[in-house]
Amino acid sequence: MIRAVVWNENVHEQTNEAVAAIYPDGIHNCIAQALDADTGIASTTATLQEAENGLSAARIDQTDVLLWWGHAAHGEVADVVVDRVADAVWGGMGLIILHSAHFSKIFKRLMGTPCNLTWREAGERERIWVTARGHPIARGLPEHFDLESEEMYGEPFAVPEPLETVFISWFQGGEVFRSGLTYRRGAGRIFYFRPGHETCPTYHDENIRRVLVNAVHWANPAAARITNVHYAPSRDVSDALEPISERGPKLHAPGEEGLR
């Protein structure tokens, strides 16, 4: 059973009537319901307002795949939580970054680029094309599908070249956008998925829900989490697999761990 945690900043739902009408239980619970329809996934939720932003060390240890929705409150996420999530991803935890979380601290940290893009809020049609036929994240989807009303995101999207581009979106106004991107950071798999503007019913859409389920299965780590991702031990000359003799000056004592 894959343990998925759906994290949401949960701000618009509290402050905007249109958002609350579409997601009366919050975006996080809508997504968690979509995941729980799959018998292989057990999902729970976490929000910004909880202690440690809902992501204590113990919680992260019990998480196989973390989904992240944020928009208005990226700066309120504690840096210690961001560090913790980054360590977990480097150790193998899966991470799915949704829509405006392109500007989240954790995504920018893991990408190392500005992650900016162009955008327009006009309720226009988005057509999502599958560009990687046979990819596990696109399983069960048609060649393309539409969302009648979405926010536009346009290129250039300032992220590193992805490992795979699973989806490309076309918008009614003419722009295109790489809307489904895969990355690996350390041992962890990362999927960025564009749709999901808070005033649109996107997470109720069956194709979108299918993508989220597929992405959780894809991002689920294949091996046990690496917990000592920063460990940088020195290998002693006496432990070398082939005999070598020491030359030159030595700065560090035998067995000393690397500085960071």
The answer to whether 53 contacts Zn ion (rule: CB under 5 A) is: no
Q: In the chain, where does DSSP find H-type helix?
A: 12-15, 17-22, 26-36, 57-61, 79-91, 105-111, 206-219
Q: What number of chain residues touch Zn ion (CB under 5 A)? A: 3
Q: Please identify which residue in 9, 38, 126, 151 interacts with Zn ion, judged by CB under 5 A.
A: 151
The answer to whether 100 contacts Zn ion (rule: CB under 5 A) is: yes
For residue 150, the minimal CB distance to Zn ion (Å) is 8
- Please identify, among the stretches 44-52, 78-86, 154-162, 197-205, the one whose residues bind Zn ion according to the rule CB under 5 A: 197-205
User: Please, which residue, 8 or 100, has the CB nearer to Zn ion?
Assistant: 100
User: Please, which residue, 187 or 200, has the CB nearer to Zn ion?
Assistant: 200
- Please identify, among the stretches 15-23, 143-151, 182-190, 240-248, the one whose residues bind Zn ion according to the rule CB under 5 A: 143-151
The answer to whether 197 contacts Zn ion (rule: CB under 5 A) is: yes
Taking a C-beta distance cutoff of 8 angstroms, is the pair 138, 214 a contact?
A: yes
The answer to whether 169 contacts Zn ion (rule: CB under 5 A) is: no
The answer to whether 64 contacts Zn ion (rule: CB under 5 A) is: no
Q: Which residues contact 174 (CB under 8 A, 6 or more apart)?
A: none
Q: In 95-186, where does DSSP find H-type helix?
A: 105-111
Taking a C-beta distance cutoff of 8 angstroms, is the pair 155, 179 a contact?
A: no
Q: How far is CA 208 from CA 73, 229, 239, 247, 257, in A?
A: 24, 33, 53, 60, 46
- Binding residues (CB under 5 A) for Zn ion: these are 100, 151, 197
